[in-house]
Amino acid sequence: MALAMFVKALEGPLPRWRPADAHEETDDAHEAAKDAHEAAWYRVAASHHEDAQTCAAYQSLCLHTELFQRPQPSWFAPSFAAAFAHGPPTAAAVRALVEEVSPGVFAFDFLSPSFCERLLCELEHYDSSGLPVVRPNSMNRYGVVLNSIGMEKTIDALQRHYVRALAAALFPVEGEHVDHHHAFMVQYKHGEDLGLDMHTDACDVTLNVCLGKEFTGAGLTFCGLRGGGRERTFSYRHQHVKGRAIMHAGHHRHGADDILGGERYNLILWNKSSTFRASKDYMNKVARPEADEADKPDLVCLSYTHDDDYEKYRPLPAGVVPRRERCAG
Ligand SMILES: O=C(O)CCC(=O)C(=O)O
Ligand SMILES: [Fe+2]
């Protein structure tokens, strides 16, 4: 019976449950909802199917097959590999490995320069393969989602064996047990995206590591925590260094300053925790208001994507549609 239901589910969405005495007048509404539900299911299924085909196709084209397997100690900076040589380090050892460069922002040497170069070559090779490119999110017009090219298992292992211990030690509430993720590469250069508007991440704990290449400008500006009362107050400007990573809470407002010259590529891992997301702490977090627009913000902390009062303080950047028009449309 259970097997039969499972097979049925693979064929398509299960029929929606309806109370036996549902009134006939609601039939049309129910039918419309059922159609929408089914259409959504088929869209998701088609997209999974396309992703699976892309991953399989790229396996025979990729440059470095080891990048699609378990992470190796040689991928990491020596200090990072040493800290994990005998399994995940204690919280005290994690604290000794990282530097808290600003409250809630931790920096540490993470990847070896040669690994950064290999990963970048692979991602550039993917880009020139002609296979479909899944972009990271609505804000990044370039870059690629790593799971969509076949690296999901590698990133799963990276999260489980390395990142989880860091997130748990540095963010004991949100990061106690990160267990799923969205992993992507972002890129900035003249003629493409120059920077990234102020935002918070759709995750619990973010890991952000610079892969190179050479660049000037392109700092990462931090303001406050969403709902913390000082969300739009400047706190820190980070200068990325190849191989070095930062870890911060997803609800820490940040944005990428425009690049002035060269090219910058970063690998971003949005870590999410199922346990945290089922907790009261999480419910309280999402219930907090976005930004306190009563307070006078620091100009660098304003977001044209998220703040209704942006234009009260600054003209919109060229080409940006006012938020009220975007939201009305
Ligand atoms: O460019 C960066 O370093 C950060 C990018 C970022 O914050 C994001 O993609 O969410
Ligand atoms: Fe971000």
Quick: pLDDT tens for 234-270. 999 999 999 999 999 999 999 999 999 999 999 999 9
Name residue, tokens 């009134």. 23
Looking at ligand 1, which atom is closest to the CA of residue 137?
Answer: 9
Tally of structural domains, the chain? 1
* Ligand 1: centre distance to CA 260 (Å): 16
pLDDT tens-place string over residues 6-15: 445 555 555 5
Predicted local confidence at residue 47, as pLDDT: 80
pLDDT beyond 80 at 3:
no
Q: Is residue 241 part of a domain?
A: yes
Per-residue pLDDT band at 20 (split at 50, 70, 90): low
* Ligand 2: centre distance to CA 27 (Å): 44
Q: Is residue 25 part of a domain?
A: no
pLDDT beyond 60 at 275:
yes
* Ligand 1: centre distance to CA 14 (Å): 38
CB-count burial class (<10 Å; 0-12, 13-18, 19+) for 208? buried
pLDDT beyond 60 at 218:
yes
- Ligand 1 neighbours, Cβ below 6 Å, are 140, 186, 196, 201, 208, 220, 254, 256, 266, 268
How far apart are the C-alpha atoms of 200 and 178, rounded to whole Å?
Answer: 18
Contact 144, 184 (CB under 8 A): yes
Q: Whose CA is nearest to atom 7 of ligand 1?
A: 255
Out of 24-28, 155-159, 297-301, least confident range: 24-28
- The number of beta carbons lying within 10 Å of the beta carbon of residue 156 is 16
Instruction: Give me the CATH number covering residue 78.
Output: 2.60.120.620
pLDDT beyond 90 at 300:
yes
Q: Whose CA is nearest to atom 2 of ligand 1?
A: 256
* 19: alpha, beta or left? (left if phi > 0; alpha if psi -120 to 50): beta
In the chain, the percentage of residues whose pLDDT exceeds 90 is 70
How far apart are the C-alpha atoms of 147 and 124, rounded to whole Å?
Answer: 15
* Ligand 1: centre distance to CA 255 (Å): 7
Contact 186, 265 (CB under 8 A): yes
Q: What is the mean pLDDT of residues 26-38?
A: 81
The complex's ipTM works out to 0.99
How far apart are the C-alpha atoms of 182 and 135, rounded to whole Å?
Answer: 12
Q: Is residue 144 part of a domain?
A: yes
Secondary structure (DSSP) of 26-57: GHHHHHHHHHHHHHHHHHHHHHHHHHHHHHHH
Q: Is residue 20 part of a domain?
A: no
Q: What is the mean pLDDT of residues 165-184?
A: 96
How far apart are the C-alpha atoms of 61 and 120, rounded to whole Å?
Answer: 15
Q: What is the mean pLDDT of residues 279-307?
A: 84
How far apart are the C-alpha atoms of 104 and 93, rounded to whole Å?
Answer: 17
How does strand 244-249 pair with strand 105-109? antiparallel
Per-residue pLDDT band at 38 (split at 50, 70, 90): confident
Q: Which ligand is nearest to the CA of 238?
A: 1
Residues in the chain, overall count? 329
Q: Is residue 68 part of a domain?
A: no
Q: Is residue 139 part of a domain?
A: yes
Which residue range(s) make up the domain with 246?
Answer: 74-275
User: Order of strands across the sheet with 220-225?
Assistant: 196-199, 252-256, 220-225, 236-238
Q: Which ligand is nearest to the CA of 140?
A: 1
Out of 32-41, 128-137, 312-321, least confident range: 32-41
Looking at ligand 1, which atom is closest to the CA of residue 220?
Answer: 3
* Ligand 2: centre distance to CA 314 (Å): 22
Predicted local confidence at residue 2, as pLDDT: 47
Predicted local confidence at residue 13, as pLDDT: 56
Predicted local confidence at residue 298, as pLDDT: 96
Contact 90, 81 (CB under 8 A): no
- Locate 94 and state its tokens: 């994690």
Predicted local confidence at residue 6, as pLDDT: 47
Give, for ligand 1, the residue of 140, 141, 268 to mutate: max count of ligand atoms closer than 8 Å to Cβ.
268
pLDDT tens-place string over residues 77-133: 999 999 999 999 999 999 999 999 999 999 999 999 999 999 999 999 999 999 989
Q: Is residue 243 part of a domain?
A: yes
Q: Is residue 54 part of a domain?
A: no
How far apart are the C-alpha atoms of 107 and 244, rounded to whole Å?
Answer: 7
147 or 243, which is more confident? 243
